Amino acid sequence: MLWDALTLQLGYNATLVAIGATLLGVSAGVTGTFLFLRKRALVSDAISHATLPGVCIAFMVLVALGGDGRNLPGLLVGSAISAWVGLLCMNWLTRRTRLAEDAAIGAVLSVFFGFGIVLLTVIQTMGVGRQAGLEGFLLGSTAGMLWADAVIIALGGALTLALVLIIRRPMTLVAFDPEYAAARGLPVHRIDLAMMGLVMAVTVVGLKIVGLILIVALLIIPAVTARFWSDRSERVVLLAGLAGGLAGYIGAAISASAPNLPTGPIIVLVSFAFFLASLFFAPMRGVLAAVLRHLRFQRRVHIRQGLLALAQGQKIYEPLTLRLLRRAGLVRADGVATDTGKARAAKALRDEKRWEIVRADQAHEATAALYDGLRDIETVLTRDQIDEIDRQIGGPQGIPA
């Protein structure tokens, strides 16, 4: 069943959901990257919760006009208006009062969401307008998705993605250094509003699939996942889009292969699985890479200290140090240095004396700051500088640099 779902062979509705979820994941991942880099991840939470009153009011208006209260375009328009009002309220509180941004977010989130829950309760007692299932906008509901719904979601996601690509450069600059962007003459406030507007668009588009509560996860988790794999912003954007798209596609496939599983939460869980994999296995920032770096550092420290002990004629008692030196071919099984070990030990001791001269000379202050007990001195000084230091040290010559 899962393979059939992944190859889009489970039927018309499952295919629509998979395509819509994939496009939503790509646009959410790309858009959320700029929000994450701007360190405003919680803003997406406020925007998403602010959509609920708009959905409810749009439903009431559509019913009052004699229409179908479950009309998706109308509900999305209402949610967009409500989200924009919530965004403006949050922005006004941040700029015109002494409230910090997190306090403004908390105020807008709680008030708008509470108002939406009250309206949703009122709607449930109306008995008209096909109100059953309207609460699906909280966690998403893909059952019975129509072709028109899928087209709206796909076009909305594609349009949002296109707008992000058009204004990605000023958004990147504002995300990393808003003061520098302002000095360059960029309208930082307007760019921030544009960024929030794109987040709002993704939130509105994603209501049908993942719901207003979980859309924040699809905006932030792919960006955090991508950050583990690269330090370059353009690569993070691409990787976040890829992670979001894959999470949407695989999550929709899993949900389709097991009909009792809700699509939105499964997509979020798949996205979180990608995050966990990146957290542990990313080559630069992952936990495993950090553990390996620590082990390599520990090995270098033990070998360095062991070589200095050999050079000074001291006996090595630390088992780990002896084992590492033996593996490197620097000592024999009885702890006596090999010829290679003697040469390396003599160089290690000579380097320590060289570093002492460098650290005592104010002319080499910048170089001395690089000393960590492990760095090879020839990586920071020229051959002529090392020869001059050796003349100051005196003693036997001919020890290789």
Per-residue pLDDT tens for 53-112? 888 888 888 888 876 666 777 888 888 898 889 888 888 888 888 888 788 888 888 898
Tell me, yes or no, whether 243 and 304 share the same domain.
Answer: no
CB 356 within 8 A of CB 368: no
Is residue 135 very low, low, confident or very high in pLDDT (cuts 50, 70, 90)?
A: low
Last residue of a domain, one of 264, 298, 329: 264
Q: SS3 of 293, please?
A: helix
Q: Are residues 196 and 112 in the same domain?
A: yes
Instruction: Count how many domains the chain has.
Output: 2
Q: Residue 25 pLDDT > 80, yes or no?
A: yes
Mean pLDDT of 304-326: 89
How far from the centroid of its chain's Cα atoms is residue 278's Cα?
Answer: 10
Lowest mean pLDDT among 232-241, 259-268, 275-284, 326-335: 259-268
Q: Residue 274 falls within a domain, yes or no?
A: no
Residue 104 lies in a domain: yes
pLDDT digits (tens, 9 = 90+) for 358-382: 888 888 888 888 888 888 888 888 8
Does 272 fall in a domain? no
Domain identity same for 79 and 154: yes
CA distances for 202 relative to 21, 76, 233, 332, 346, angstroms: 12, 11, 20, 65, 64
Is there a domain that residue 279 lies in? Answer: no
Residue at 271 is within a domain: no
Residues 258 and 312 in one domain: no
Residue 9 has pLDDT above 80, yes or no: no
Q: Report if residue 399 sits inside a domain.
A: no
pTM of the model: 0.77
Q: Is residue 280 part of a domain?
A: no
Q: Which pLDDT value is given to residue 92?
A: 87
Q: Domain of 154: which CATH number?
A: 1.10.3470.10
Residue 397's pLDDT is 47
Q: Which of 54-63, 119-128, 301-310 has the highest mean pLDDT?
A: 301-310
* Domain interval for residue 311: 288-393
Residues 345, 218 within the same domain: no
212 has pLDDT over 70: yes
Q: What is the distance between the alpha carbons of residues 35 and 204, in angstroms, rounded to a whole number? A: 16
> Could you report the per-residue pLDDT of 224-267, keeping only the tens digit for each?
999 999 888 889 999 999 999 999 889 888 887 876 777 788 88
CB 223 within 8 A of CB 87: no
Same domain, 173 and 116: yes
Q: What is the mean pLDDT of residues 351-362?
A: 88
